[in-house]
């Protein structure tokens, strides 16, 4: 049997009267690219928010590397487990700098919790250069609100790459991107797989994602 | 992703490094505007009444009461940057300084009497923060209610009776925290608590701009959903901001007792509107996510100078409020040019 990196068993989640997910079971193996497909409102984003620790499921089990998760699964725990997520809304604070956004919630701190601003700047700069995310018009000190939609998406992806995920989750990574930019995101996904990481990505367009995914999981009205 | 870099991956483009000075001005626009407003205002006052505004005694008298506001304005910047508001700090200052004053009256050492006052300030912060986050009340309404509630407790407990400290000046505590500098001739009579106030502003700046806490406060105020998605506990950050507010209000209340050598059941009441005005005049925007500790502290100076300036210029006290309003509105129009509102 292939080794399973993460596994969701019988996950159910509702918001008030809305049943977002009912008894969903799925898994992601090591070093594979899985496409999560479903119509609008099928519960795709809810599912990945459970996996990334933003929401807690009402019932069901979450297994990471063959171990069942005990207690509350949080974003911090997901980060420690090597799960990085690029959310659909990019999860950015637009009035703040690129560097601050990359380290959001995981600042590099020294004595007394003081942030090592220079170190963060340098790391952000190195990262942006490494992944070819450079421009004449912005640097790690640029305010995100001054960047274009594609560039903002770039910041969100750069952040996920910085922390070297074992499972990279991308929620609608290519919406609002140009063709070359889309190709670039696909190249990142393939490179991640090459390195032995897994990718779970959401798309509501199966043709779009056909070339790249090893496998698809289809979600239909929460089931 | 920028398309330029996609097509030219080998030739790393020469990345523009903005000139350090320009970058610095850009990063500190709001605080610098506050400074500019302050300087322009003082210049006008100096022209109108040169005798008063070139005399150090004028500034000394402004500096006696100004630090009290600094202790509430700095944490208020955190609250507003976190996307909330606090209207309860006047009563928090009142009730905590009551605890301090009553304890000192009953023979406590003032150094010890500060401890229960601070604990109460922290407790108020936790309570307000919990109402705003976990209970989910609007901070505007919750803190308005809390202000009435706490002031009500003071009124019921004291029935309007003040506590006087005619011997206050003899206490070591007073000399350390509210005394005058006597040893240096050219700043003789300078109030020591102004230095404590500036130290508090400095610590507030570090906390806001260089510490995890201040950064999280700003991110939470900018976009709580993003903050939560990146693992920041939004509720906890907001509660901590209210705790900081409680501590600041306590220090302001205690300082006000020291400065006035008296505790009144109304202690803290007069802080509300000037402090809020100072925060916004100083360049902290109303919509949350960003703010400036230094700018808003300069805002305190602006608000504190208006009244002195008007009286010194020979106008009657009746026009003070009019000029307060004028300065607030003109400064906000000025701050409007400090870049677009991004949310």
More confident residue, B143 or B168: B143
Domain span holding position B132? 57-157+189-335
Which of A93, A186, A194, A135 lies closest to B289, judged by CA?
A: A93
pLDDT in tens, B243-263: 999 999 999 999 999 999 999
Closest chain B residue to the Cα of A102, Cα to Cα? B230
Q: Do A133 and B1 touch (CB under 8 A)?
A: yes
pLDDT in tens, B326-340: 888 988 888 877 766
Question: Which CA distances in Å does A214 have to A148, A217, B312?
Answer: 31, 10, 80
Q: Is the pLDDT of residue B204 over 90?
A: yes
> Under a CB-based contact definition with an 8 Å cutoff, are residues B307 and B320 in contact?
yes
Q: Do B15 and A106 touch (CB under 8 A)?
A: no
In a domain, B177, yes or no: no
Closest chain A residue to the Cα of B288, Cα to Cα? A95
Residues 6+ apart with CB under 8 A from A203: A35, A36, A37, A172, A174, A209
Q: Give which of A56, A92, A93, A142 to mutate to test B binding, by max B Cβ within 10 Å.
A: A93
Question: Which CA distances in Å does A174 have to B165, B184, B242?
Answer: 70, 67, 40
pLDDT in tens, B284-327: 999 999 999 999 999 999 999 887 888 777 777 788 888 889 88
> Under a CB-based contact definition with an 8 Å cutoff, are residues A157 and A86 in contact?
yes
Closest chain A residue to the Cα of B208, Cα to Cα? A114
Q: How far is A2 from chain B (nearest CA, A)?
A: 30
Q: A residues 139-178 near B, CB within 8 Å?
A: 139, 141, 143, 145, 150-151, 153-154, 157, 177-178
Give B11's contacts in chain A (Cβ within 8 Å): none
pLDDT for the residue B224: 96
Q: How confident is the model at residue B51 (pLDDT cuts 50, 70, 90)?
A: confident
Give B12's contacts in chain A (Cβ within 8 Å): 129, 134
The angle subtended at Cα B34 by Cα B268 and Cα B92, nearest 5°, is 15
Q: Do B343 and A95 touch (CB under 8 A)?
A: yes
Q: Is the pLDDT of residue B341 over 80?
A: no
The rounded percent of chain B whose pLDDT value lies above 70 is 93
DSSP E strand stretches across B71-135: none
Q: Is the pLDDT of residue B153 over 50?
A: yes
Q: Do B226 and A90 touch (CB under 8 A)?
A: yes
| Whole-angstrom distance, CA of residue B71 vs CA of residue B302 | 16
Give A136's contacts in chain B (Cβ within 8 Å): 4, 13-16
> Under a CB-based contact definition with an 8 Å cutoff, are residues B49 and B313 in contact?
yes
* Intervals of chain A under pLDDT 50: 1
pTM of the shown model:
0.91
In this complex, is the C-beta atom of A130 within 8 Å of any C-beta atom belonging to chain B? Answer: no
- Give the domain CATH number at B95: 1.10.3470
pLDDT for the residue B2: 38
| Whole-angstrom distance, CA of residue B150 vs CA of residue B95 | 7
Q: Do B1 and A106 touch (CB under 8 A)?
A: no
Residues of chain A with CATH 3.40.50.300: 1-82+165-223
Which of B9, B212, B289 is nearest residue A113 as measured by Cβ atoms? B212
Which of A106, A114, A151 is nearest residue B211 as measured by Cβ atoms? A114
Q: Do B211 and A115 touch (CB under 8 A)?
A: yes
Q: How far is C-alpha A161 from the geometric centre of its chain's CA atoms?
A: 9
Closest chain A residue to the Cα of B234, Cα to Cα? A105
pLDDT for the residue B296: 96
Cα Rg, chain A, nearest whole Å: 18
Which of A137, A119, A140, A120 lies closest to A129, judged by CA?
A: A140
Q: Do B229 and A89 touch (CB under 8 A)?
A: yes
Give B204's contacts in chain A (Cβ within 8 Å): none
Q: Give which of B7, B208, B230 to mutate to test A binding, by max A Cβ within 10 Å.
A: B230
Q: Which CATH number is correct for A1-82+165-223, 1.10.3720.10, 3.40.50.300, 1.20.1600.10, 3.90.1640.10?
A: 3.40.50.300
Residues 6+ apart with CB under 8 A from A205: none
How many domains does chain B fold into? 1
pLDDT for the residue B6: 36
> Under a CB-based contact definition with an 8 Å cutoff, are residues A114 and A121 in contact?
no
Which of B23, B222, B228 is nearest residue A94 as measured by Cβ atoms? B222
Q: Do A75 and B231 touch (CB under 8 A)?
A: yes
Give A134's contacts in chain B (Cβ within 8 Å): 2, 5, 12-13, 15
Which residue stretches of chain A are H helix?
Answer: 44-51, 75-80, 98-102, 117-130, 149-162, 179-194, 206-209
Among A154-158, A178-182, B90-94, B227-231, whose mean pLDDT is lowest? A178-182
| Whole-angstrom distance, CA of residue B160 vs CA of residue B157 | 8
């Amino acid at each position: 049997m292939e080794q399973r990196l993460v596994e969701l068993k019988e996950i159910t989640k509702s918001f008030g009267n809305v049943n977002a997910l009912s008894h969903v079971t799925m898994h992601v193996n090591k070093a594979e690219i899985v496409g999560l497909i479903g119509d609008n409102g099928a519960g795709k984003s809810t599912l990945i928010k459970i996996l990334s620790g933003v929401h807690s499921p009402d019932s069901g089990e979450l297994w990471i590397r063959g171990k069942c998760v005990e207690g509350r699964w949080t974003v911090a725990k997901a980060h420690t487990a090597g799960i990085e997520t690029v959310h659909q809304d990019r999860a950015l604070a637009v009035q703040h700098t690129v560097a601050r956004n990359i380290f959001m919630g995981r600042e590099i701190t020294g004595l007394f919790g003081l942030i090592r601003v220079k170190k963060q700047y340098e790391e952000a700069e190195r990262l942006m250069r490494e992944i070819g995310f450079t421009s004449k018009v912005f640097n790690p000190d640029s305010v995100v609100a001054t960047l274009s939609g594609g560039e903002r998406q770039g910041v969100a992806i750069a952040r996920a790459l910085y922390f070297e995920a074992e499972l990279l989750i991308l929620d609608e990574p290519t919406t609002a991107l140009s063709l070359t930019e889309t190709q670039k995101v696909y190249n990142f996904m393939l490179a991640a797989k090459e390195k032995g990481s897994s990718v779970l990505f959401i798309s509501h367009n199966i043709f779009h994602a056909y070339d790249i995914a090893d496998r698809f999981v289809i979600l239909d009205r929460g089931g | 992703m920028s398309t330029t870099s996609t097509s030219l991956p080998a030739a790393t483009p020469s990345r523009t490094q903005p000139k350090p000075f320009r970058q610095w001005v850009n990063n500190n626009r709001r605080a610098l505007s506050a400074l500019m407003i302050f300087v322009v205002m003082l210049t006008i006052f100096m022209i109108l009444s040169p005798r008063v505004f070139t005399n150090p005694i004028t500034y000394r008298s402004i500096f006696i009461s100004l630090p009290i506001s600094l202790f509430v304005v700095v944490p208020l910047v955190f609250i507003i940057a976190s996307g909330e508001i606090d209207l309860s700090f006047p009563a928090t200052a009142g009730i905590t300084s009551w605890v301090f004053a009553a304890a000192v009256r009953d023979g406590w050492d003032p150094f010890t009497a500060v401890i229960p006052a601070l604990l109460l300030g922290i407790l108020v912060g936790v309570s307000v923060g919990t109402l705003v986050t976990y209970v989910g009340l609007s901070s505007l309404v919750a803190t308005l209610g809390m202000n009435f509630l706490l002031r009500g407790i003071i009124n019921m407990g004291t029935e309007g009776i003040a506590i006087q400290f005619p011997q206050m000046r003899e206490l070591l505590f007073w000399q350390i925290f509210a005394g005058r500098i006597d040893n240096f001739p050219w700043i003789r009579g300078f109030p020591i608590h102004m230095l404590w106030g500036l130290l508090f502003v400095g610590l507030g700046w570090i906390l806001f701009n260089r510490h995890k806490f201040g950064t999280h406060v700003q991110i939470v105020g900018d976009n709580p959903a993003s903050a939560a998605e990146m693992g920041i506990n939004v509720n906890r950050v907001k509660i901590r901001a209210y705790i900081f507010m409680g501590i600041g209000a306590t220090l302001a209340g205690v300082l006000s007792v020291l400065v006035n050598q008296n505790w009144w059941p109304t202690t803290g009441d007069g802080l509300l509107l000037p402090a809020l005005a100072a925060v916004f005049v100083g360049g902290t925007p109303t919509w949350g996510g960003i703010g400036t500790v230094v700018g808003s502290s300069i805002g305190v100076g602006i608000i504190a100078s208006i009244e002195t300036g008007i009286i010194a210029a020979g106008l009657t006290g009746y026009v003070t409020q009019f000029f307060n309003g004028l300065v607030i509105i003109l400064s906000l129009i000025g701050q409007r040019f400090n870049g677009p509102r991004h949310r």
